[in-house]
Amino acid sequence: MNIFCPKKNNSTWVFIIIFLTIIITPHANSFTFEKANEFFDKGKYPEAIQAYNDLSTNGLSSNLLFNLGNSHFKAGEFGKAMSNYQRALKLSPRHPDIISNLHFAHKQAQTEPIPITFRQKLTRKLSIQEWTIITSLSGSLFLVIIGIFILNPSYRKSIAWIKVLGSTTSILLLFSVMSVIDYFGDKRAYATQDGAVVRTGPVEQSPELFKVKDGMEFIVLGRSGEFINIQSSIGSAGWIHTNSVALTLP
């Protein structure tokens, strides 16, 4: 059978094209990453930002977000830089370079980070994915061992192991829940424009409360249309246009 016969084997051709696309795509991504790095090295920061952003549509990594943050920083966009460092930290919370650059960006922007609680410090030792995997493995092992014990009652002499594994799983589950709450509950944003106006209400006509500077960190309280309800580190709350802030969820 001739597989190159287009009339009879259309599906084969489609399969080959899809297969080649899959094979080629990673090379295309790595090329773009290298190109983006090249832009950065040559000081073409807007082009680097564009390239990293294009690449991020295929997937994210902490290194990609770190580089994107660096590009924004070099382009003088402190808020966007910090937002990308925070996004990178959600993926790699212990990465020393990201932590260092975030601190440096705050220093350069002359803004204070909003302090995090002890509970957040504890849960952010690991990323949400790490907590989930560890808890999932521990929980699965616990269930399987219980299943084996049910089938073979003679193993019940070593019940202490079940207790240890059960306690460990419970603690890990607690931390995982706290991590999920922190991930989805602790919404933060950074001002991306100097002089952006925070208003008393979510409409343009609302009176002005105060102005922000690029790189100011906020806690996001809610959203209404084109406006985001924010609270600053000193407790002042108001509404700011979405165009003037960058959110921190990856």
Residues lying near another protein in the complex (CB under 8 A): 29-30, 33-34, 37, 40-41, 55, 58-64, 66-67, 70-71, 73-74, 90-91, 97, 100-101, 103-107, 110-113, 128-129, 132-133, 136, 139-141, 143-144, 146-148, 150-151, 180, 183, 199-201, 203, 205-211, 234-236, 250
CB 250 within 8 A of CB 129: no
**Angle 128-151/159-185 helices, nearest 10 degrees?**
150
CB 239 within 8 A of CB 229: yes
CB of 50: closest distance to another protein in angstroms?
15
* For another protein, the closer CB: 19 or 104: 104
* For another protein, the closer CB: 208 or 226: 208
CB of 3: closest distance to another protein in angstroms?
33
* For another protein, the closer CB: 2 or 41: 41
**Angle formed at CA 102 by CA 199 and CA 105, multiple of 5 degrees:** 70
CB of 208: closest distance to another protein in angstroms?
4
* For another protein, the closer CB: 2 or 235: 235
Give every CB contact of residue 248 below 8 A, 6+ residues apart in sequence: 83, 86, 87, 90, 187, 188, 189, 190
* For another protein, the closer CB: 12 or 60: 60
CB of 209: closest distance to another protein in angstroms?
6
CB of 233: closest distance to another protein in angstroms?
9
* For another protein, the closer CB: 16 or 159: 159
Q: What is the rounded distance in angstroms from the CA atom of residue 63 to the CA atom of residue 98?
A: 9
Q: Write the burial class of residue 77 (CB in 10 Å: 0-12 exposed, 13-18 middle, 19+ buried).
A: buried
* For another protein, the closer CB: 9 or 233: 233
CB of 1: closest distance to another protein in angstroms?
37
Phi, psi (deg, nearest 5) at residue 228: -115, 135
Q: What is the rounded distance in angstroms from the CA atom of residue 205 to the CA atom of residue 186?
A: 29
Give every CB contact of residue 95 below 8 A, 6+ residues apart in sequence: 62, 66, 88, 89
Which of these, 242, 227, 246, 238, lies nearest to 198 by C-alpha position?
Answer: 238
Give the helix ranges, DSSP H, for 61-205.
Answer: 62-74, 78-91, 96-109, 118-123, 128-151, 159-185
CB of 14: closest distance to another protein in angstroms?
26
